[in-house]
Each structure stands twice: as structure tokens, then as C-alpha cells.
Amino acid sequence: MKNLIKDLMRSKAGLIGAILLLLIVFVAVFAPFLDLPDPTRGDLRARLAGPTWDGLFSPGAHPLGTDEVGRDILSRMIHGSRVTLLVATTAVVLGGIVGTALGIWAGYKGGLVDRVLMRLVDIQLAIPLMLLALLVVAALGPSLRNVVLVLALTSWIRYARIIRAQVLSLREREFVQSAHAIGASTMRIMFFHILPNVLTPALVVGTLELARIIIMDSALSFLGLGVQPPTPSWGRMLADGRVYISSAWWTVTFPGLAIVLTVLSVNLFGDWLRDYFDPKTRNKK
């Protein structure tokens, strides 16, 4: 752990990513305790008001302006981050659990199980993920739960492939062979001997997946298939604000910026994490 932090301090990009990400998560978690205007209620008379820093701390100030029905954009952005992060992390964890489990199973068992699962992965890889997500949400109806399910569905294959490749080499290692020789059950070997050794790659895949899923979640809500108004979400804010893009730039600029910064910080952090766990790049330093 000490090593980890020391290495992070040395990597500029990783450090910036980590700080930014921590900040975003912190604000998202503590949003209800910040004294923000209600993100779902607006004042029609104050619609499309521009950003202003006058009277910043007075009630009714809109430092980042208001949207097309007079709601505070700063508050919607912050509350939107809660929704986005909740959806993205749940989907990543869900996809990670399913993908890792199936990857271990396929890699360790081999044979028919492996062939069927990997062909399934191939089939899903051949379908554009956005199309798959659109179809499923359109069929099940837009809701928070369905969006999480859909995003997890598009995510498990990436874990499954990478984990399976790891397991293929782990399977031949002595500690696995010896566990097998003393009569450990397959379940036990997979759970106690293989799983701990694939957690690191799973973690790295997970971080990179997080960035992709945030983008995809925003795309789905941009298309109106994510959480429903008036609940704030970044994609939806972009979609509703784009009509006014040339007369009220703040309606799209700030939610757009939120997506960019979040994804950037996750990617920077994820890249560093990958380098850290990859012996080849770590030893070079």
C-alpha cells in the first residue's frame, strides 16, 4: 500500500487523475449536505439566466446559470454526478462479477464450457454495443435499474476474455497443480487459488470500463433512454440544452465539461493503475 502511494506520487498524470476523481466522488457523496437549490425544481421566470458570480452566496444565486425551465445548473450537475457515478459503478461491479466468474469458469474448465462461452463473447462483440443497449432499453423501458443492467451486459465480455487468458496460464502453475493433486475440489481451486490471482487484472479492466460506461450512460440519457426527467443526468442536460446551444452556451458547456473531466480523471488513474500492476512497465522506472 505504501509502495502504491509512493508510485502514485511519482506519476503526475496518475496523481492528477486520482485527485480529480476523489474530488468528484467527494462532492457527489456529500451533495445532499451542500446548500444547493433543489435540482428538480425551477423558476420559469428565471429560465436561461446566464452564469453570474454576483451575490454568489446569497440564496437564489446561479453561479453556472439556469436551464430551459429555470433550474440551477450547478446543482443539477452535482446531483447528476450522483446518478452517473451510481449507475456506472454498479454496472462495472455487476459486469465485473459476472465476467470474472465466467472467465474463470471458462479458463479452468476448458472444453465445451470454454468453447460455448467464448463463442457467446464473440457473438456479442460482433453486435455494436450501443445498438445492443438501445434495443434492450427500448424493449424493457427506460429506468435506472434497466440502464444498469444494460450497461453491465455490455461490460462482462471484456472481463471474461482477459480473465480467461490469465486463468489459462495459471491453470498450469505448480500451486494449482498441487492443490489439484491433494484432492481440492474444482470450486475450491477456482475460488481460493485462482480468483485472488486474477483480481488485479480485473481491477484494471474495471477502471478502464468505468470511463467507457460513463460515456455510454451519458449517451443513453442523451437519447432519452436513461433516467427520466426531472431527475438530473448529464446526458439529458446536454440533450435538452442543445436547442439553445448558440444563445445559452452554459446549458451544454458545463454538463459537457463534467463528462469530460470525470472520464479523463478515471482514464488517467486507470492508466497509472495498469502500469503499476504490469511488471514490464513498473521495472523500467
Partner 1 sequence: MKNLQKLLSATAVAACMTTSAFALDITIAQTSAVNTLDPHASASVGLDLSVLSHIYPTLLLRAPDYSLQPSLATEWKAIDDLTWQFTLTPDATFANGEKLDAQTVAWNINRVTDADNPKRISSWFSQVESVNVISPTEFQIKTSSPYPALADQLSMFMLLPPEWAEANDPTSETISGFLYEISEYVPGDHITLKPNESYWGDESAKFDSVTFRVIPETASRIASLLAGEVDMINSVPASELARIDASDMASAGAVDSTRSVFIKFNTEKAPLDNKLFRQALNYAVDKDLIAEALFDGRANVSACQVMTPDYFGFNPDLTAYEYDPEKAKQLLEESGVDLSQPIEFELPSGQYLQGAEVTQAVAQMFEDVGVKTEIQSMEFGAYLDKYRKAHDLGRLSLLGQAWATIDADGLLTLFKPGNQYSYWNDATFDQHLIAGGSTTDQDSRLAAYKAATEVMCDEAPVVFLYAQPATYGVSSRVTYQPRGDDWMRAFDMMPAE
Which residues bind to partner 1, rule: CB under 8 A? 40-42, 44-45, 47-48, 68-70, 141-142, 224, 228-230, 240, 242-247
3-state secondary structure of 49: coil
Angle CA 227–36–263, to nearest 5: 50
Cβ distance to partner 1 smaller for residue 156 or 250: 250
Q: How far is the CB of 231 from partner 1 (least distance, A)?
A: 9
Q: How far is the CB of 80 from partner 1 (least distance, A)?
A: 15
On whether the CB atoms of residues 194 and 271 are closer than 8 A, the answer is no
Match 464473440 to its residue by C-alpha cell: 122
Instruction: Report the C-alpha gap between 183 and 194 in whole angstroms.
Output: 16
Q: Which triple of cell numbers denotes residue 86?
A: 451510481
Cβ distance to partner 1 smaller for residue 125 or 130: 130
Q: How far is the CB of 224 from partner 1 (least distance, A)?
A: 5
Cβ distance to partner 1 smaller for residue 2 or 45: 45
Q: How far is the CB of 84 from partner 1 (least distance, A)?
A: 18
Q: Which triple of cell numbers denotes residue 197?
A: 490471482
Instruction: Report the C-alpha gap between 190 and 80 in whole angstroms.
Output: 39
Q: How far is the CB of 51 from partner 1 (least distance, A)?
A: 17
Cβ distance to partner 1 smaller for residue 227 or 268: 227
Helix (H) or strand (E) holding 69: none
On whether the CB atoms of residues 241 and 68 are closer than 8 A, the answer is yes
Buried b (16+ CB within 10 A) or exposed e, 74-84: bbbbbbbbbbb
Cβ distance to partner 1 smaller for residue 110 or 229: 229
Q: Which triple of cell numbers denotes residue 99?
A: 465476467
Q: How far is the CB of 180 from partner 1 (least distance, A)?
A: 54
Q: How many helices (H) and strands (E) does the chain have?
A: 12, 0
Cβ distance to partner 1 smaller for residue 51 or 229: 229
